[in-house]
Amino acid sequence: MCLGYCSSGMVNLKELSLIPGKAAWMAYLDVYCLNADGAIFDAALLSAVSAFSHLHIPAVSVTEDGRVVAVSGELVEGNLVKEAPIKSKRKLTLSCIPFSLTCLLHKKYILADPTAEEESIMETHVTVVLDLSGRLVSFYKPGGPVHAHTSALPVSPDLGGRN
């Protein structure tokens, strides 16, 4: 899933910097699935984007000995603040928001957003990740036939395809 949000450029890594070249925030993301009924990657990516869109960088300072501490004054446990503090918490700015669509290829049909039952009879599936400008971010196709049946290739112009 990292390909979906890392390669999209969704997060400007410079925004995670505390002291350029010395200290930065590290963002961890754990996604827990409570109920899987198909197209789990799509749901997980949507959850990841939502989590990052609500992330706030806290107001902190860096002490002379290199510790990152919450902003509360000029002295922190007897140590002078070494770097100018990030004065207030700020929301992380997101760009290039990724979204995905998983489709099944079964015989001569393409089925979008499959359920778990539909996934169990699939020949193969593909997941396409785009950003809001329509740029391809990632394409994932595990196993199965290398090509789709020619009858499955025409795509409706309403879905962005061209015959």
Q: Which of 2-11, 55-64, 92-101 has the lowest mean pLDDT?
A: 2-11
| Mean pLDDT calculated for residue range 57-81 | 68
What is the rounded distance in angstroms from the CA atom of residue 135 to the CA atom of residue 20?
A: 30
| pLDDT of residue 163 exceeding 50 | no
Q: Residue 53 above 70 pLDDT? A: yes
The pLDDT of residue 159 is above 80: no
Domains defined along the chain, listed by start = 2-55+92-144 (3.30.230.70), 58-88 (no CATH)
**What is residue 149's predicted lDDT score, i.e. its pLDDT?**
54
Question: In percent, how much of the chain has pLDDT > 70?
Answer: 74
CB atoms near residue 28 (< 10 Å): 4
Q: Is 45 or 123 the better-scoring residue by pLDDT? A: 45
The torsion of the CA quartet 88, 89, 91, 92, rounded to 10 degrees, works out to 100
This prediction has a pTM of: 0.73
Nearest to 46 by CA among 127, 106, 125: 127
Residue type, 97: I
